[in-house]
Amino acid sequence: MSTHPVVYVLNGPNLNLLGKRQPDIYGHETLADVEASCAAKAQALGLTMAFHQSNHEGEIVETIHRARDEAAAIVINPAAYTHTSVAIMDALLAFEGPIIEVHLSNVHRREEFRSHSWVSKAATGVICGLGSRGYILALDAVADLLGTEAG
């Protein structure tokens, strides 16, 4: 059994299409590519990662509930639910560890509605506009905040 802290990396609706549509906004990498980079980074940092994607709000809420027992930190790209979901915000507010919100695009340069995030009200920190590197930086932040950084 691993004694490494567990970090959940959660992805919201339509992110399963990453790399397959709209590469001008979201880049050419697929979600499987992002997962592989995150897995390598987590291992280097001494973290155990569990990577999830769901197109269903309730499923994301239930995954966050599981994180209460199983994870020390959460990295989340809630995708469109960022801007709509009080339910995901409330679930995150019930989680005690660090929460890093990640967006591939700079949501503040886009349509006005993307500038508001319910999830930010529960997040420790927010990273946006740096593409998939944002996930890697979020894992760095998690390791730092948990005080578990390797090396």
**Which residues on adjacent β-strands are paired with residue 125?**
100
How far is C-alpha 130 from the chain's CA centre?
Answer: 13
Q: CA–CA separation, 43 vs 80, rounded Å? A: 29
From the CB of 149, what's the least distance to ligand CA2, in Å?
Answer: 25
From 8, 26, 81, 135, the catalytic residue: 26
For the question of residue 108 being annotated catalytic, the response is no
For the question of residue 4 being annotated catalytic, the response is no
> Binders of ligand CA2 among 44-103, rule CB under 6 A?
77, 79-80, 82, 103
Q: CA–CA separation, 55 vs 53, rounded Å? A: 7
Burial class (CB within 10 angstroms; exposed 0-12, middle 13-18, buried 19+) of 6: middle
> Binders of ligand CA2 among 96-115, rule CB under 6 A?
103-105, 107, 114
Give residues in contact with ligand CA2 (CB under 6 A).
Answer: 14-15, 17-18, 21-22, 26, 77, 79-80, 82, 103-105, 107, 114
